[in-house]
Amino acid sequence: MDCIQIKDKKFTVSIKEEDILKEVSRVADEINRDLAGKNPLFLSVLNGSFMFTADLMKRITIPCEISFVKLASYQGVSSTGAVKEVIGINEDLSGRTIVIVEDIVDTGLTMQRLLETLGTRGPKEIHIATLLVKPEKLKVDLNIEYAAMHIPNDFIVGYGLDYDGFGRNYKDIYTVVNE
């Protein structure tokens, strides 16, 4: 499907699944190389990162663990600017190597909040792995070591990303069509 309709918006394919998976493999290779011997704890940020996390973890070959956290900052097509923690972290992070797995970093406010929260729990080091980054929309300075792709400031759905809860199930990434 080259075009899809979700609610009141039309979207067109912008990144095909095979291109996504190629970049996910590259990121996994970098993590496997850089974090060998560190037994990292991957923290997947739900809901959006579930597909990225699944495909990334299939390619991680080093000993590791995974857990999930849920933060919310979106409503419709724009960020509310307020981050609300929905599901917390139960693991002991003291002295651990943490890899935050995120679907998209745009303003960076959600990631900044998560870094602050995790930092109070005494981790040894925290790394960021994200499927997508919108560099021109960043409002905070973040050290994003593992980014699969940089994209323009367009609204997108698919591969875990949604529009009001819809569209996460598509294997490709779609960009909104401005009419």
The type of residue at 13 is V
Provide the phi-psi class of 29: left if phi over 0, else alpha when psi is between -120 and 50, else beta. alpha
Catalytic position from the list 106, 154, 162, 164: 106
What's 57's DSSP letter?
Answer: H
- Residue 105 to residue 153: CA distance in whole angstroms: 11
- Residue 76 to residue 54: CA distance in whole angstroms: 25
Is 106 an annotated catalytic residue?
Answer: yes
Q: Which helix (H) or strand (E) holds 71?
A: strand 65-75
- Residue 147 to residue 129: CA distance in whole angstroms: 6
Angle at 131 between CA 127 and CA 136, to 5 degrees: 90
Q: Which residues are catalytic?
A: 106
